[in-house]
Amino acid sequence: MAREFQRGHKAKISDLTPGTDLYVGVQISGPGLTFDISCFGLDANEQLSDDRYFIFFNQPKSPEESIQLLGAQAGDTESFRVTLDRIPANIHKLSFTATIDGAGQMSQVGPGYIRIVAGGEEVVRYAFTGSEFTTERAVMLGDFYLKDVWRFAAVGQGFDGGLDALLKNFGGEVAEEAPAAPQQAAAPSFAPPPQATAPAPSFGAPAAPQAPQVPQPAPSFGAPAAQTPAPTPQQQMHAAPTIAAPMAPMGGTVPPPAPAPAPYGQPGQPPQQPQFGQVPGQPVPAAPYGQQAPAPYGQQPPGMPQGVPQGVPQAGAGLQAALQPYKETATGQRWTPQNQQLMRVDLTMGGTPVLARQGSMVMYQGKVDFSYKGAGFAGRIVGNATGQEMQLMRCTGRGQVFLAEDGSHLHAIELQGDGICVSAESVLAFDESLQHEVRRIEGHGIPGGALFTMQFQGTGTIIVKTHGVPVVLPVTPTTFADCNAIVAWSSASQVIISSQVRLRRNAYPGHSGETVNLQFRGAPGNFIVVQPYEV
């Protein structure tokens, strides 16, 4: 059950949830008001010493992605993903703020809140109303701060000056914007961008997500002033590129000016320059239908690098260009899929060893140690009796390990205090921090002795193997799955063996081949994973 905070209340994050991968939702609204919701990553002096940690609609994530802007979802005006164990050591506080874009005061807002969700469950909520404020135009809602451990505080402190005053309070700089041209309406500072859809987080977003709303684009805070063309009503001022004047060539002839920019949202047309041997003003003859237009004399055909004599191989071709699509993918995360069949784990992140299926390592980098991981005498007895024995190796050290097996499709499933049931045969690797045990399926039996499965719980990641691309289905009272095609299901689901064998059917020489299925029951939010293959 979520804890209700009042202004000034504080608590350790570890007292609220054991997880460190958190969802932060903010709900704030008012009649005729538009809000900009941001997160400031501050140093030990509570200053914005690194503007890359000012997370807002034009900078939606920090460099290592420990703070990410997710957009409107699950009834929240704005939401964030915060991974506390990945925040760099120079960031000591995360301050979540809301500011009014345009006219208005915080006293006009209705009931709102800031909340923290972990593992799909809301753990804390600080609610506020407009009666707590007067003429303020910005408010600090809540803080994550580091004081020997990460803690959360409900703040509720307002600023009269809006976002500019808030930014200056944290030591940031507000860039001066170029004045608008005469007889043109200046674009609003926070004009909405084209429609975008924010993906729902898979790590801890609450149930019943609502239609996402469009996040607002960013002001040019902290950016150096640049000479930009005058904005139009359809173009944002701080989104216009800087246009440099062309340099005069040897001889003093200045090229003709560039054409006027195309309307917002439409591609611009390149200037038409006379080609070698062409009379200015005459159109270039078109190529026959279905054929490519010939290249001007002395130039390469379209799509080839210009300035290179014809017949010379394209730059970058050869071995390096051929191998470029298969280079290692590094995202700064602990688990990174390199393709559908290859997974990379970075042991230097998280500090937790990895348990992987014996023989699944195909390559590693760095100083990594592989050791045998035994299940113990009791574990071997249970594994042999249930068919859920896993032959594992323990991967420790500092480096990156690449895992694969038989070309199976690999899927990283991140658990935040919740659980999942997976057959031991479908598990490739998992963090040692996860607890796992054999769980019995209710019923009288399944052909082949598959009466049991493995249940994983805790905080960490498990890599699941499938034959082909799986499908995830919600659990309903009428959800059935073939016991030979099911891969995994949420641990809160109730599983019952359903047999369609009838005495009358046994009198005939054959049957449909679909005599035993698994029936799933559970509350909304439960799921099953089925692969297009029967083991």
Rounded mean pLDDT, 451-457: 85
Q: What is the pLDDT of residue 337?
A: 93
With contact defined as beta carbons under 8 Å apart, do 494 and 523 qualify?
no
Q: What is the pLDDT of residue 349?
A: 83
Distance of alpha carbon 424 from alpha carbon 453, whole angstroms: 7
Q: What is the pLDDT of residue 246?
A: 42
Q: pLDDT tens digits, residue range 244-280?
A: 444 444 444 445 555 555 554 455 555 555 444 454 5
Q: What is the pLDDT of residue 39?
A: 96
Q: What is the pLDDT of residue 344?
A: 94
Least confident of 262-266, 466-470, 491-495: 262-266
Q: What is the pLDDT of residue 416?
A: 87
The single-letter DSSP state of residue 76 is: B
Distance of alpha carbon 145 from alpha carbon 372, whole angstroms: 40
Q: What is the pLDDT of residue 296?
A: 56
Q: pLDDT grade, residue 188 (50/70/90)?
A: very low
Rounded mean pLDDT, 32-47: 93
Spatial neighbors of 455 by CB under 8 A, at least 6 apart, are 419, 420, 421, 436, 437, 438, 439, 491
Q: What is the pLDDT of residue 461?
A: 94
Closest-CA residue to 137 (of 91, 190, 70): 190
| 190, pLDDT greater than 50 | no
pTM: 0.42
The single-letter DSSP state of residue 534 is: -
Strand, helix or coil for residue 16 = helix
| 418, pLDDT greater than 70 | yes
The single-letter DSSP state of residue 81 is: E
Q: What is the pLDDT of residue 200?
A: 44
Rounded mean pLDDT, 396-412: 93
Q: pLDDT grade, residue 187 (50/70/90)?
A: very low
Comparison of pLDDT for 424 and 383, the residue scoring more: 424
Among 88-102, 370-384, 448-462, 483-497, name the most confident range. 88-102
Rounded mean pLDDT, 32-37: 93
Q: What is the pLDDT of residue 144?
A: 97
Which two three-digit tokens encode residue 77? 């005006």
Rounded mean pLDDT, 391-395: 92
Q: pLDDT grade, residue 290 (50/70/90)?
A: low
Rounded mean pLDDT, 393-408: 93
Q: pLDDT tens digits, residue range 515-535?
A: 567 888 877 888 999 999 886
Q: pLDDT tens digits, residue range 302-315?
A: 655 555 444 444 54
Distance of alpha carbon 168 from alpha carbon 396, whole angstroms: 45
CA distances from 57 to 60, 188, 402 (A): 6, 15, 35
Q: What is the pLDDT of residue 377?
A: 55
Q: What is the pLDDT of residue 452?
A: 80
With contact defined as beta carbons under 8 Å apart, do 93 and 39 qualify?
no
